[in-house]
A and B are shown apart, each in its own frame.
Chain A
């Protein structure tokens, strides 16, 4: 089946630093990818929609200057958490939609970000 690779799986950083998370579709092309965040024992919250070759669309309340999204190719989207603070600590999950089967959404394994 379709595979979405997300790296790193876990990252610990100091407050004020930036962290980049990569999301790759390994065996399919994905014009559209999505980024979610999830706090403990809560559901996934959509942060932004990433479209290849164009600007990302952010959900209300999500700071676009803090969460930079780049979707430079049909198989790669990156999320950069800039000037991270402890409140940014969360589980970040990417997902990608196979261009051939847009009904299905495939998810990465997630990145646990801990900001000290």
Chain B
């Protein structure tokens, strides 16, 4: 399974854009990149998923360069409620069966007023 590397923590202020980059140098051809958000004492919540280029939904954007060895989660105009741990996971492409996703250390985002 592809190993991921993220910054351990990040700080931001309300209203700013936050970009969290994840490295996954040994990503496989069929692997998708998925980001989850976790609040204390809650299960992870799906944020966004992509395979290549750019994906955007109502809460975030995901930028994936052509070599797919990294990805960047972009959170526009963060608020205090975005304070959480963000996990980047790689794996489980359509043809790779039903392997579990392995969690890395995650990035602890702290948003200040």
Contacts and interface: CB of A to CB of B under 8 A. Distances in A.
B34 A44 contact: no
Contacts of A93: 43-44
B49 A104 contact: yes
A13 interface: no
Interface stretch (B12-20, B21-29, B66-74, B96-104): B96-104
Contacts, number: 60
Given A103-B32, A103-B93, A104-B34, A110 B43 contact: yes
B41 A107 contact: no
A109 B43 contact: yes
Given A46-B103, A103-B34, A109-B43, 10 more contacts: A31-B98, A43-B87, A43-B106, A49-B100, A51-B98, A93-B43, A97-B92, A107-B36, A107-B43, A107-B45
Interface of A: 1, 4, 6, 31-32, 34, 36, 43-46, 49, 51, 91, 93-95, 97, 102-110, 112
